[in-house]
Amino acid sequence: MTISIICTNKDPLPWVTALKELDSSLDIQIWPNEGRKTDVEFALCWNHPEGVLREYPNLRCICSMGAGIDHLFNDAFFPKELPVIRIVDPLLAQSMFEYICTAVMYYFRDLDIYKIQQYQSNWKQQPPKSIAHTTIGIMGLGNLGKFSANKLLDFGFNVIGWSRTQKSINGVKSYAGDEALGEFLSQASILICLLPLTNETRGILNLETFNRLPLGACLVNVGRGEHLIDEDLITALNKGLLRGACLDVFREEPLAAQHPFWRHNKILLTPHCSSITDPMSVAPQIVENYRLMKSGQPLMNQVNPLRGY
């Protein structure tokens, strides 16, 4: 029985170390240098090459190396009959919160404006704002969204959330479904996208969405690049509909050198680093799922293939 690590833009070695530290008897191999493909029963994947999962006739489970699983379902030849599991990890949620908190504070304390003023040698104080009167809207109240919502609430922000189903999170007003999206957006002066990428959410950050936000709202996209219509963001920023955007994820990664986002003065961008899975932190759940798979028991953190997340 073999675990194969199949990834194209992650270093697999820290994962081997973390898994072996927990159970030295595990047979872990690294794509494309596995021994016999027939031995592989469990695949740990991040941006695997399309079609490659069909090469393992005895594969029984596919595990994402992160929270998102869109990179798996993007594969036209994905073996849909197999269970898919993903990472749910407190450290991942904490790390995402740290990034979101930084971006929120950047806009709340007007650092984007002061940065521009600095280049103009312009000494001008912006009017003070009240944290309690600043509404943060979080799209996606799952494992990551709920954690950040609670933490931002502790800071004193007014936090609202939008999800597919209604949530009950103390202090956070919950909006659910397409019919509630408009009311949710109309209040969010800082909009955070923490949705999974599905057929329903692809392109959700578009001009119509930006028009429904309060004038001069800010966007933080930590979901996926395909949530955003790039041209619509540029239009919204240039027209002043949006004040600024902090982007961590992109349609094409790495972002092409000639992409206009790099040089737009109202965009702050980072290289998909808001929350990177720590192999040491998640190794226990992977080993546990491997054992559950071997003993035919229900797996943890299993994805619903019909919902797509």
Query: Known catalytic residues?
Result: 224, 272
- Of 41 and 70, nearer to ligand NAP (C-beta) is 70
- 140 is in the binding site of which of ligand GLV, ligand NAP, none (Cβ under 5 to 8 A by kind)? ligand NAP
| Contact set for ligand GLV, span 241-280 (CB under 6 A) | 277
Cα-Cα-Cα-Cα dihedral sign, residues 257, 258, 262, 267 = negative
Find the shortest distance in angstroms from Cβ 8 to ligand GLV.
14
Question: According to CB under 6 A, which one of 53, 67, 149, 242 is a site residue for ligand GLV?
Answer: 67
Is there binding between residue 66 and ligand GLV (CB under 6 A)? yes
The total of other beta-carbon atoms located within 10 Å of residue 115's CB is 12
Only segment of 64-72, 76-84, 151-159, 288-296 that touches ligand GLV (CB under 6 A): 64-72
Which of 12, 68, 225, 244 is the binder for ligand GLV (CB under 6 A)?
Answer: 68
* Least separation in angstroms between CB 129 and ligand NAP: 27
The candidate with the shortest Cα–Cα distance to 245, out of 236, 257, 254, is 236
**Do residues 43 and 53 lie in contact, with contact meaning Cβ atoms separated by under 8 Å?**
yes
Q: Residues 134, 201, 209, 289: which binds ligand NAP (CB under 6 A)?
A: 201
Q: Residues 149, 169: contact at Cβ < 8 Å? A: yes
Site string for ligand NAP, 87-106 (x = CB under 6 A): ---------x----------
* CA atoms in the 13 A half-sphere facing the CB of 100: 32
Radius of gyration of the chain (CA): 21
- Interface residue with ligand NAP among 144, 185, 241, 246 (CB under 6 A) is 144
Pairs from 166-171 (Cβ < 8 Å, separation ≥ 24): 167/141, 169/141
> CA dihedral defined by 232, 234, 237, 243, rounded to 10 degrees?
90
Q: Identify what 141 binds: ligand GLV, ligand NAP, none; CB under 5 to 8 Å per kind.
A: ligand NAP
